[in-house]
């Protein structure tokens, strides 16, 4: 009987040691070599649901990287529970993202930034289009399809996109009094491809 208790106690100690080894923090691929605890990462869905109270703060998020920008590799997109739950990550002071991010789970630490689209933003965009100085993203004139999907855009013309933003702003103003749309992205300070 005493032998069984000793075996049980030994097995319990071994299990505790293995469990604690699995929860140690990992170094992130970053400019400053900071460490993040495994459990501190938010899911994309949770980050987006609470973005209005988190913007301007440092956050850590984890999700599947669905896309890396072909124009320099300085943007990636992380997906949550489905493709309607997506957040853009910009490399900030980091160099471009590694191509190995695509189709991998990626953990990113950085500052959550709010991008507001209001009438002044839209008028400036229209002016850039007329002057042919608008920044081009994606494979054509209409922009990056992944970024458009992350913002809930469906139109395939620049004029249509602007008109849809105006309609959404009017709807939001009627509902909440706010005359702008908020979109969020993270300016990364560190990232890590999870194994």
List, for residues 27-78, the tens digit of each pLDDT value: 344 444 334 344 589 999 999 999 999 999 999 999 999 999 887 889 999 9
Output the average pLDDT for the chain: 79
Report which DSSP code applies to 97. P
For residues 39 and 42, give the distance between their C-alpha atoms in angstroms, rounded to a whole number.
8
Return the pLDDT at 129: 84
Residue 178's pLDDT band, with cuts at 50, 70 and 90, is: very high
90-98 long-range Cβ contacts below 8 angstroms, 24+ apart? 90/185, 90/186, 90/187, 90/188, 91/188, 92/187, 92/188, 92/189, 93/31, 93/189, 94/30, 94/31, 94/188, 94/189, 94/190, 94/191, 96/72, 97/68, 97/73, 97/191, 98/193
The 10s digit of each residue's pLDDT in 88-112 is: 999 988 989 999 999 999 999 999 9
Query: What's the confidence (pLDDT) of residue 2?
Result: 47
DSSP 5: H
- 7: confidence class by pLDDT, cuts 50, 70, 90: very low
Residue 17: band (very low, low, confident or very high) from pLDDT cuts 50, 70, 90? very low
Please give the average per-residue pLDDT across 149-169, as a whole number. 87
Q: Which of 151, 136, 34 is nearest to 83 (CA)?
A: 151
List the Cα angle 177/44/29 in 5-degree steps: 125
């Amino acid at each position: 009987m005493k032998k069984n208790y000793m075996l049980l106690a030994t097995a319990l100690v071994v299990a505790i040691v293995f469990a604690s080894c699995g929860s140690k923090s990992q170094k992130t691929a970053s400019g400053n070599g900071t460490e993040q605890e495994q459990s501190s990462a938010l899911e994309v869905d949770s980050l987006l649901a609470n973005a209005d109270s988190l913007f301007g703060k440092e956050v850590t998020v984890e999700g599947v990287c669905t896309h890396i920008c072909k124009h320099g590799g300085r943007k990636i997109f992380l997906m949550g529970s489905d493709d309607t739950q997506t957040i853009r990550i910009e490399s900030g002071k980091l160099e471009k993202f590694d191509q190995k991010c695509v189709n991998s789970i990626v953990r990113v630490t950085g500052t959550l930034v709010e991008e507001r689209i209001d009438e002044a933003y839209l008028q400036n965009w229209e002016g850039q289009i007329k002057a042919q100085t608008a920044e081009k993203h994606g494979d054509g004139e209409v922009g990056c399809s992944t970024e458009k999907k992350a913002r809930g855009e469906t139109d395939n013309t620049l004029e249509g996109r602007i008109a849809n933003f105006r309609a959404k702003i009017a709807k939001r103003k009627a509902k909440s009094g706010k005359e702008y749309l908020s979109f969020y992205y993270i300016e990364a300070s560190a990232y890590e491809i999870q194994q």
